Chain A
Amino acid sequence: MLELTDVVAGYGPLQVLRRVSLGVQAGEIVCLLGGNAAGKSTTLKTVLGLVRPRAGSVALQGERIDGLATEDIVRRGIALVPESRRIFARMTVWENLEMGAYSRRQTAPAEIEEDRERVYGLFPRLKERATQHAGTMSGGEQQMLAIGRALMARPRLMLLDEPSMGLAPVLVEQVFDIIQAINRQGTTILVVEQNAAVALSIAHRGYVLQDGRIVMHGAAKELLDADDIRRAYLGED
């Protein structure tokens, strides 16, 4: 579904991604691992068009999307759960979810309402706080909102940027269980993580990014085994 080929990207004179190639098949969960400043977030930003690649290409279901405006890319069925949640703190839960469905605003309100109910079903706590300002919620609740917001776009591909960041281990488990459940319902997942262990526990395949280059990739099981050796790289940074 998603294909990055030899992508070179960065900010200004700073080069972050040096010829990165990776692919995500429909229905998979793929994780992108690496330490700080390896280029994980930049990879997602490049997919979303927030960063324009200097070389290489990004393709969604065969169609090239690098160079397109972010709003056009997103409309093709990609949603993001940003790093550290980044929910709209000054809006209510309801409004956040509404914004999540913005790329589908042409759709009938009834359908969007359905999706909202589905999100509430998945995260009952959000329904309780529907009219509460998102900024007043706890980190875990905000993470749920961020995921729920992404779900509102009914994406074919969901990108998650370090969903475990800043969450207690129990919550991390919950979050990744939910990600797995979402995948089983048909959404392709690309999750970027520093916490290799939990990411690999639900992923089908994985890539390891270091200094802007893919240094390892393969089935999740393989990576987990090799992880004993790589733990020095991927462990606490």
Chain B
Amino acid sequence: MKVMPATRRQVGLAAACAVAALVLPLLAPNDYVVGVAARISLYATLALGLNVVVGFAGLLDIGYVAFFGIGSYLYAFVASPHFGIHLPFLMALPLVVLGTALFGILIGAPTLRLGGDYLAIVTLGFGEITYLLLLNLDRPINITNGPSGIIEIDPPALFGHVMSGNTAYYYLFLVVLALALAACHRLQHSRIGWAWQAIREDELAARVMGINTTVAKLQAFAIGASFAGFAGALLASWQRSVFPENFLFTESINVLAMVIIGGMGSLAGVVLGAIVIVALPEVFRDLQAYRLLVFGLMLMVLMIFRPQGLLVPRSVSTAAKE
């Protein structure tokens, strides 16, 4: 499991991308495009979180949007007129992240010790239930405000400046994305990262090696949930509103597709996936109805012909399992 040092080419490529990302708003033809770019950055961060769960630890979570929704709503609870709480951005964020991570642990604890297939179904159910709860918890006590959602959420105020305009958000999300990428990179090459890889390859062998697989999987789950919570808070503060419809099952599939397209485990791949998934519908506006159809087909085809995704992560194993 050696990590090859980044080649000169890879570093150069990364630098070029970074520069391109930084100057994008200046080159963009209009604000709408900047908005799309902001969306891409946000979803890339979200997808990185799922990548920790699916790509690093090999746990198939298909209800990931639940954590996204929980994060968004938690932020809406503490930074809007809904409950009358208006925490400043930097104080609300850690609360939201922690809260979402807690949910991750709650849902993961009973189910992670079971097989991967079970986890998939349970996360699917969890995603469905979360949506139902968001939609219906306006009776008997109004927690989520039901289908009307929560609006007039406070925009983030950093160092006295209230954020407004897609460009400001774009740079904020870009910074967050950079931090997320750095964090994932560190995780990947840390002890827990190796543990995850071992578990992903062969859980039984990992356990035999002395890895506490249940704890490691729970950590992956919680970290993934944290990322989603963070992204959710960002979404809420950007859109200044949250609705249950933002967090349907199809969103889970979108994010999953981002992770898979790029190649599970590959950080660059995940970002690429986010670009593809978010930008493509913009390009093919008319074919919106066919989007999911193509998704489904693509997932099947990808698995058959190119299960490693479009970009293969560096420390991937070579042995095909029997």
Contacts and interface: CB of A to CB of B under 8 A. Distances in A.
Q: Do chains A and B touch in the complex (CB under 8 A)?
A: yes
Interface in B302-322: 318-322
A12 B321 CA distance: 7
A9 to B, nearest CB: 13
A23 B318 CA distance: 35
A12 B202 CA distance: 15
Interface in A7-49: 11-14
Interface in B266-322: 318-322
Contacts of B320: 12-13
A17 to B, nearest CB: 15
Chain A interface size, as a band, is under 10
Contacts of B319: 12-14
Interface residues of B, number: 5
Interface string A118-138: 000000000000000000000
Contacts of A11: 322
A13 B318 contact: yes
A14 to B, nearest CB: 8
A13 B320 CA distance: 8
A12 B319 CA distance: 6
A14 B322 CA distance: 11
B317 to A, nearest CB: 10
B36 to A, nearest CB: 44
Nearest to A51: B322
Contacts of B318: 13
A11 B319 CA distance: 9
Nearest to B320: A12
A13 B318 CA distance: 8
A11 B321 CA distance: 9
A141 to B, nearest CB: 30
Contacts of A14: 319
A12 B318 CA distance: 9
B144 to A, nearest CB: 49
Nearest to A11: B322
A24 to B, nearest CB: 27
A11 to B, nearest CB: 5
9 contacts: A11-B322, A12-B319, A12-B320, A12-B321, A12-B322, A13-B318, A13-B319, A13-B320, A14-B319
Interface of B: 318-322
Interface of A: 11-14
Given A12-B320, A12-B321, A14-B319, 6 more contacts: A11-B322, A12-B319, A12-B322, A13-B318, A13-B319, A13-B320
Closest 4 CB pairs of A and B: A12-B320, A12-B319, A11-B322, A13-B319
